Amino acid sequence: MSTGAMALIHDDRLFPADPTMRNIARRLYAEVRDLPLICPHGHTQASWFANDEAFPDPAKLFVQPDHYIFRMLYSQGITMEELEIGAGEMKDPRRVWRIFAENYYLFRGTPTRMWLDYSFHELFGLDERLSGATADLYYDVIAERLKTPEFRPRALYERFRIEVLATTDTPLDSLAAHQAIRDSGWKARGVDPRIVPAFRPDSVVDPEFAGFAENLAKLGQMTGEDTGTWKGYLRALEKARARFKALGCTSTDHGHPTALTADLPVAEASALYDAVRLGRADARQQELFRAQMLTEMARMSVEDGLVMQLHPGSFRNHNRKIYERYGRDVGADIPVATDYVHALHPLLARFGNEKNFTMILFTLDETTYTRELAPLAGHYPCLRLGPPWWFHDSPEGMLRFREQVTETAGFYNTVGFNDDTRAFLSIPARHDVARRIDCVWLARLVAEHRLDEDEAVEVAHDLAYNLVRKAYKL
């Protein structure tokens, strides 16, 4: 849809200005740009693909689910009420879209801008920059396209060349949508689509989680185990994991405040569980319980083979007013300093050398890359490093990661890329950024004669596709 303006995205975006490195990066990127997408960790919804219903409107598709967007708008004084965040049905989605468009300039220089421009251009054919003046044009074009069969969730899954897509689900989720996908007979590019759950047990292992006691009772009801006892509680979690695994799950995910682990004697662990279950635990005991549960989850992973992901280091719900009004995951989470060396020692002392155990570590504390994470992953067979996450899922963050991690952990103690998104249409954009930046880093090594180009091609393939399949047992 040409309006005479320059294209929103340039073929050489993110590539070096230096012509030698740019040409190498171009050649490397050409080798990997069209590889299938492996999405082993994210927050899309299985119900989208089970029901295959049209997305309702541009505001609900782009603005409402994406905390990267409304966080920035909120920081500039635009209220959640104006954006209709949390509303089941938007009263005036065009008005919300106009607010977003009029303030699109706020995203200059951010990865969010790159992801959005990619989607607008590649999916909807728009090539004039979003602004107040083009708000209605954008809204009308996107809204009209969303009515077509080509923009249903299943069609987009196929168009994006997704090979595996993992959702994130609690042990209390029925997983009915996952079963419905399996029962639907849908074939994606001639084969069964691989949309699988990931086991996220925060709601039943974190004593600070809203409704924790009620969640424990429901877990017991769903599994037929007595969660009033420590042994029954652990059996209930084991049964829940088995139910996930039966529907294709290969990984667990843990969003703890810290990376602290513990290895308590059974009697102490049982007494601690009673304290948290009955609401009698203080803050220290609550943190110790979460620490013990990370070690218990590692034990279960050794037994059932599920890959363990740890996403620590976020001060969740920092803005209590927003949390009380809108609940969790509304963009008021802030990174904090995180210790890994001492915190993980109890777990690693017990399971660090196990061959049937993989633990993928993420961080929001970049100061730990060189000092802690790369040396740990460069030694323990069970450890791998996840890609830059959340606040660092950016071109600069990805380059910092490679610069600080590669010298000690190499490439093969990392796990490629995962998009970790709620915004479905951003998935190909995020993978495209990651592939370009990895090619930039490899081009530098080739230009500096630290790597031959044929090796760089092989590494580029590994980073884009092979490592993630291997790490997540896909």
What are the boundaries of each domain within the chain?
55-149, 153-471
Contact in structure between 464 and 418 (CB atoms under 8 Å)? no
pLDDT of residue 324: 83
Q: Give backbone dihedrals phi and psi of 224, rounded to 5 degrees, phi first.
A: 70, 25
Contact in structure between 112 and 69 (CB atoms under 8 Å)? yes
pLDDT of residue 250: 98
pLDDT of residue 474: 94
Closest by CA to 289, choosing from 208, 195, 170, is 208
Determine the angle formed by the axes of helices 67-75 and 93-102, rounding to 10 degrees: 70
pLDDT of residue 331: 67
* Burial group, residue 224, by CB count within 10 angstroms (0-12, 13-18, 19+): exposed
Q: Confidence class of residue 4 from pLDDT cuts 50, 70 and 90?
A: very low
Q: Confidence class of residue 326 from pLDDT cuts 50, 70 and 90?
A: confident
Two structure tokens written together for 51? 């029901």
pLDDT of residue 3: 39
For residues 37-53, one letter each, b for 16 or more C-beta atoms within 10 angstroms of the residue's C-beta and e for the rest, the string is bbbbbbbbbbbbbbbbe
At the top level of CATH, which class does the domain 55-149 belong to? mainly alpha
Closest by CA to 329, choosing from 20, 56, 68, 129, is 68
C-alpha 256/C-alpha 356 separation (Å) is 23
Which CATH architecture group holds 153-471? Alpha-Beta Barrel (3.20)
Percent of the chain with pLDDT over 70: 99
**Which one-letter DSSP state was computed for residue 149?**
G
Intrachain domains 55-149 and 153-471 with the same fold: no
Note the pLDDT tens digit of each residue in 414-441: 999 999 998 999 999 999 999 999 999 9
Q: Region 36-62: what's the mean pLDDT?
A: 96
Percent of the chain with pLDDT over 90: 92
For 80, residues 6+ apart whose C-beta sits below 8 A from its C-beta are 70, 74, 86, 322, 325, 326, 330
Q: Region 244-256: what's the mean pLDDT?
A: 98
C-alpha 222/C-alpha 237 separation (Å) is 10
